[in-house]
Structure 1
């Protein structure tokens, strides 16, 4: 005698309840070694750590990147020679058509700067950029660590061939080694549960400072997907490529978990960036070895 539970395995089969185990994958950076300063870094008070379970404040209105006129929550970094601010770089970008742009990148190796994919390859401006000047820790007219020129630009095939925003990440390989005192960021993949409600920091070089002044804001993560991180953090054009970093409770050094790439537009109430996945941990590590 048949029952309603009898079914053809090829027709309306039940879901297989299997789940992949997510494991942390971390690539350590280099702390660097600058001379001791006589005073502490005043910008340290801007950094957030840990998690925040409280609900986020809902905005009544927002612009392209959550910036509401008169309510910019960002702060200018005035101590850019300190860690981690010195590891964040202003980018002066020139396209093959001769157009000029600004962006942000972060140090991931002796000759490696990570940024957004659209900062190195943009189909609207002739594809690969012609050249990029990198200025670590820029502070207005001050360039405390000099500037460096791109030798090679890299990105993910899914970005360059299809414009897939899930892979909007790029790499700048420099002609020369960076100042060894600068150090480099750690970066890694963390499971969903560790990222939800995590407090994160984003700092970069927006157009409001003509790409010369570093601006920071911090808040908690709203949500995560397999390839993206969404957050209520104020940003602006020019901050594409900024590091999204956090501090785990057992770590005192910052760990980059994503690359800022998108403003909120008109549909979402959160900005977003490309999440560092296990695949991207391997890819960034590969880019580190290129000369």
Structure 2
């Protein structure tokens, strides 16, 4: 099986990337100066190579393919967008994830993905600038066993002076062979990294990483494909550059819900003022099930602070006196932040509806194509429309539960907005990656 790397395709109305004669000539002139990479078979059981995964993919057309991905959280995998939405075979319908594979030896469990998504510009238009995506696993077990990479938006000086690595499951090697490359980033722009590492089919979605001062393995790019001349000769390998919008999209997937054995049905958020004693209690849990109290200052990033067990009647309670005003919620232990439980709060705290906030986690940064990837912290469709309007955008794309991209046009008549409203009848619970269009 092999992945199919896309040719350049640009969304209608978006500026075409410069892939013409001037770039070709510049790349050819630079070619004589580029460092030759070091290639070696990777030790797949060692860090960080065990955090790199083989993706075996079935597409809507019935076709199959293989790509590489990388763990970026306990239940989240990053990869290239064209691995999840193929220009020729359509969207993926099934993705199997296997980390640390060495031939037929698999030291870790192979799991079926619970869900996966890519960006609206790639999924709809195959816009190469947004060719990245994420996969959500059914539990945290795999990531906790392998560990995961961090994400880093590298500066120009870091890209110019650093030495970088990548490793992937190439289609031209024996099945299960993880091959690594060490080399330099030879050129870059606002969206892409360029290098000569001889990447090929199967490498798509591989991480491009370096090791930071703290010893962490930091991903600065994602292997995408290569650029070719008119005669078909490879001019340069090409990867997605990790920038703030890319980082926001990838990190938003860390909040995607897993499938939990104890998954309470009603998310409830509590805002507790600083210095106010309060009891946060949950009801309707399975008897003797593990639960945790999570805290957040921005409704996006959640941290567990207390753990407990429900009683025989399915009740659980936590007593808190926060030092600063924060949001709290009760979740099943091991569940994603979206799996919050039904609950009540007493002692001066205020209760907010699921997904309260109605804002973006960070200000939208619009690229040259008047498109911005941003995280909506949660709220109603009306709150989303208001936030989009305040950001100066005319519309927003979001992916529904079936994987279909829906457009909400700001200020449009109700019959135009009806399909979007029907797709999200309960609004957005928790952090959701969306795409704004100006």
Normalised TM-score (structure 2) = 0.49
Correspondence for 1:247 among 172, 186, 211: 211
Q: Which residue of 1 aligns with 2:34?
A: 56
The answer as to whether partners of 1:261 and 1:273 remain within 8 angstroms in 2 is: yes
Deviation at 1:153, TM superposition (A): 1.3
Q: Which residue of 1 aligns with 2:64?
A: 100
1:234-291 CA distances to partner (integer Å, 9 max, x unpaired)?
212100000000123x232211001000124236632010011101111111101102
1:155 aligns with 2:118: yes
Tell me, in whole angstroms, the C-alpha distance in 1 between the residues paired with 2:176 and 2:120.
Answer: 31
Measured on the aligned residues, the alpha-carbon RMSD in Å equals: 1.9
After TM superposition, give the deviation of residue 210 of structure 1 in Å. Answer: 4.8
Q: Secondary structure at 2:146's aligned position in 1? A: coil
| 1:30 corresponding residue in structure 2 | none
For residue 237 of structure 2, what is the aligned residue in structure 1? 271
Q: Is the CA contact 1:217–1:234 (under 8 Å) kept in the aligned structure 2?
A: no
Structure 2 distance, partners of 1:181, 1:152, is 20
In the alignment, the residues of structure 2 paired with residue 234 and residue 100 of structure 1 have an alpha-carbon distance, to the nearest angstrom, of: 23
Q: 1:39-67 deviations in whole A, cap 9, x for unaligned?
A: xxxxxxxxxxxxxxx94258xxxxxxxxx
| Aligned equivalent of 1:67 | none
Q: Residues 105-120 of structure 1 correspond to what in structure 2 (within 5 A)? A: 105-120=69-84
Q: Could you tell me which runs of 5 or more consecutive residues in structure 1 were left unpaired when the two chains were aligned.
A: 1-53, 59-71
Cα deviations by residue, 1:204-256 (Å, 9 ceiling, x for unpaired): 001122541101111101111101011121212100000000123x2322110
- Say yes or no: does 1:74 pair with 2:22: no
- For 1:141, what is the secondary structure of its paired residue? coil
Distance 2:44 2:155 in 1: 31
State TM-score, norm by structure 1: 0.72
SS at match of 1:285: helix
Residue from 125, 138, 142 that aligns with 2:105:
142
> Matched residue of 2:70: which SS?
strand
Which one has the bigger strand percentage? 2
* 1:1-291 equivalent positions in 2, closer than 5 A: 55-57=33-35, 74-77=39-42, 79-125=43-89, 127-179=90-142, 180-248=144-212, 250-266=213-229, 269-291=235-257
SS of 1:193's equivalent in the other structure is helix
Asked if the contact 2:163–2:184 (Cα under 8 Å) also holds between the matched residues in 1, the reply is yes
Number of paired residues? 222
Contact 1:188 1:256 in 2 (8 A): yes
Q: Please tell me whether Structure 1 or Structure 2 has the larger radius of gyration of its CA atoms.
A: 2
Unaligned runs of 5+ in 2: 1-31, 258-438
**Take 1:284 and 1:193, find their aligned partners in 2: how far apart are those partners?**
23
Kindly state the Cα deviation for residue 88 of structure 1 after the two structures are TM-superposed. 0.3
